[in-house]
Amino acid sequence: MPAPDLSLSTTVGPLRLKNPFLLASGPPSASGDQIRHAFRLGWAGAVTKTMVPDSMEVRDVSPRFAAWKGPGAGLLGFENIELLSHHDEAYWVREIAAVRQEFPDHALIASIMASPDPAEWQALAGTMQDAGADAVELNVSCPHGMPECGAGAAMGQHPEIVRDVTRAVRLVTRVPLIVKLTPNVTDIVPVAEAAVAGGADILAAINTVQCLMGIDLDTLEPLPAVAGAGTYGGYSGPAVKPIGLRVISQIAQKLPVPLMGIGGISRWQDAAEYIAAGASAVQVCTEVMWGGAGIIRDMNTGLSGYLAQKHFADTGALRGCALPRIGTHAALSRDTVSFATAGFLDRCIACGRCVTACRDGGYNAVSLENRQVVIDRTRCDGCGLCSQVCPEGVIVMQERRRGHGR
């Protein structure tokens, strides 16, 4: 296998990575063999499936996944009610040591979770550090199952608890300390600040979003149904990328802390967006479950090509480039407005979607004449709805300064 392009090398705080792509904690990193497979394919690092003290029982149910699929069975959103690693501490001690010996130039991060007792977190972190983990990630963000016993997001939703458990682990660790944050809070910034105050070197965001995937209208059972019953789960997949981008950018604007972006990353373009929003690297889970770990090849190739096209020397040059453009609603320009125009009439299939959308959800500015789109500039308010519903990209928005005519 050829070495990854040097332009993709990056640093995340104290960690040095061959490229910005890591397996996130989850089913794709549930065993040492899966992690080895991913490293051979070109992933720069992996976060183990979250491990717990041997005293904490982990019993999964079946089935535990549900998916929202688009045309051609493409994934839009994914729910899981899966719990944590089934392997005991001794297994992970052996595997971390073995994988580190086989792949010394890859980042192997131990994800851990424990009860609210800081001593349990300290003991587990120390064990995995001694086994050879390059970093420890604190999972204070799982939204299902574990909060019922006071762990996971039940801890991560309280800044003072996040600060205290981070501080406790910081006291016993020499390796970089990562805190994985939950999006299931009103304001992410106080939680992020608490993690940094506790000694976190890196923040990772987001974990899954609490959800209820759906209801089977034949059986009236929630999805996924376990013996006819269900519960709230963790939502991931492409649909959560806007939430992840929002969280990463909010933290990046407030805190000078290295960030790993997670959530809805299925293509290199998604990774580039996270980096532009302030992340130094990204973690991927659901898309690997859906398409296999081999997706890393296209991700590496695509991102490398993009950086070259945009004349960025490396991923660090892209980091945070979008942040100066993300601000408050009040700060947005009222001097420049847009209007809809039929920019590519040759593509028009006269489906009428734009007409219906503008009539019932806009300003009744769009019509069809001789099976072609016509836009009344005197009615157009520039909302952009017609351009969003057009399946062929016929309608485009053009910018003008207010007062310069229509």
pLDDT tens figures, 160-186: 999 999 999 999 999 999 999 999 999
Residue 162 CA to residue 138 CA, distance in Å, equals 9
* Res 244: pLDDT: 98
Give yes or no: residues 53 and 24 share one domain. Answer: yes
Which residues form the catalytic set?
142
* Res 204: pLDDT: 98
In this prediction, residue 406 has a pLDDT band, given cuts at 50, 70 and 90, of: very low
Give yes or no: residues 342 and 318 share one domain. Answer: no
In this prediction, residue 2 has a pLDDT band, given cuts at 50, 70 and 90, of: very low
Instruction: Find the Cα–Cα–Cα–Cα dihedral 305, 310, 312, 315, rounded to 10°.
Output: -50
CA 37 to each of CA 29, 40, 43, 161, 316: distance values in angstroms, whole numbers, following the listed order: 10, 5, 9, 36, 27
Does a structural domain hold residue 1? Answer: no
Give yes or no: residues 165 and 224 share one domain. Answer: yes
* Res 7: pLDDT: 74
* Res 1: pLDDT: 37
Give yes or no: residues 218 and 349 share one domain. Answer: no
Residue 207 CA to residue 60 CA, distance in Å, equals 19
SS3 percent helix, strand, coil of the chain, rounded to 5, is 35, 20, 40
Give yes or no: residues 238 and 96 share one domain. Answer: yes
* Res 403: pLDDT: 60
pLDDT (mean) for 1-10: 61
Beta-strand pair 259-262/336-342: unpaired
Residue 195 CA to residue 173 CA, distance in Å, equals 15
CATH label of the domain that carries residue 32: 3.20.20.70
Give yes or no: residues 152 and 40 share one domain. Answer: yes
**Whether pLDDT at 327 is above 50:** yes
Residue 245 CA to residue 236 CA, distance in Å, equals 13
Q: Which DSSP helix (H) or strand (E) runs through 35?
A: helix 32-41
> Into how many domains does the chain fold?
2
Last residue of a domain, one of 303, 325, 347: 325
In this prediction, residue 404 has a pLDDT band, given cuts at 50, 70 and 90, of: low
CA nearest neighbour of 8 among 298, 309, 300? 300
**What is the chain's mean pLDDT, rounded?**
95
Angle subtended at Cα 351 by Cα 350 and Cα 357, rounded to the nearest 5 degrees: 115
Residue 181 contacts residue 195 (beta carbons within 8 Å): yes
**Whether pLDDT at 4 is above 70:** no
pLDDT in tens, 247-274: 999 999 999 999 999 999 999 999 999 9
Give yes or no: residues 289 and 377 share one domain. Answer: no
Q: Which domain holds residue 373?
A: 336-401
* Res 102: pLDDT: 98
Residue 142 contacts residue 111 (beta carbons within 8 Å): no
Give yes or no: residues 143 and 267 share one domain. Answer: yes
User: Token digits for 83?
Assistant: 């719990």
Does a structural domain hold residue 331? Answer: no
Residue 86 CA to residue 54 CA, distance in Å, equals 10
CATH label of the domain that carries residue 342: 3.30.70.20
Give yes or no: residues 101 and 160 share one domain. Answer: yes
CA 83 to each of CA 52, 58, 64, 239: distance values in angstroms, whole numbers, following the listed order: 11, 7, 9, 22
In this prediction, residue 73 has a pLDDT band, given cuts at 50, 70 and 90, of: confident
Q: What stretches of 258-359 adopt beta strand conformation (E)?
A: 259-262, 281-284, 336-342
| Long-range residue pairs from 248-251, CB within 8 A, at least 24 positions apart, any chain | 248/205, 248/274, 248/277, 248/278, 248/279, 249/277, 249/278, 249/322, 249/323, 249/326, 250/188, 250/189, 251/188, 251/189, 251/192, 251/203, 251/205, 251/278
* Res 64: pLDDT: 97
* Res 3: pLDDT: 40
Residue 178 CA to residue 176 CA, distance in Å, equals 7
Side chain identity at residue 261, one-letter code:
G
Give yes or no: residues 295 and 381 share one domain. Answer: no
Does a structural domain hold residue 330? Answer: no
Last residue of a domain, one of 306, 325, 344: 325
pLDDT (mean) for 65-94: 96
Last residue of a domain, one of 300, 325, 350: 325
Residue 175 contacts residue 135 (beta carbons within 8 Å): yes
In this prediction, residue 336 has a pLDDT band, given cuts at 50, 70 and 90, of: confident
Burial of 301 (0-12, 13-18, 19+ CB in 10 A): middle
pLDDT (mean) for 89-118: 98
Give yes or no: residues 250 and 357 share one domain. Answer: no
Beta-strand pair 366-369/372-375: antiparallel
Residue 371 CA to residue 27 CA, distance in Å, equals 51
Give yes or no: residues 57 and 141 share one domain. Answer: yes
| Count of Cβ atoms closer than 10 Å to residue 256 Cβ | 6
* Res 5: pLDDT: 46
Burial of 74 (0-12, 13-18, 19+ CB in 10 A): exposed
Does a structural domain hold residue 31? Answer: yes
Q: Which DSSP helix (H) or strand (E) runs through 207?
A: none
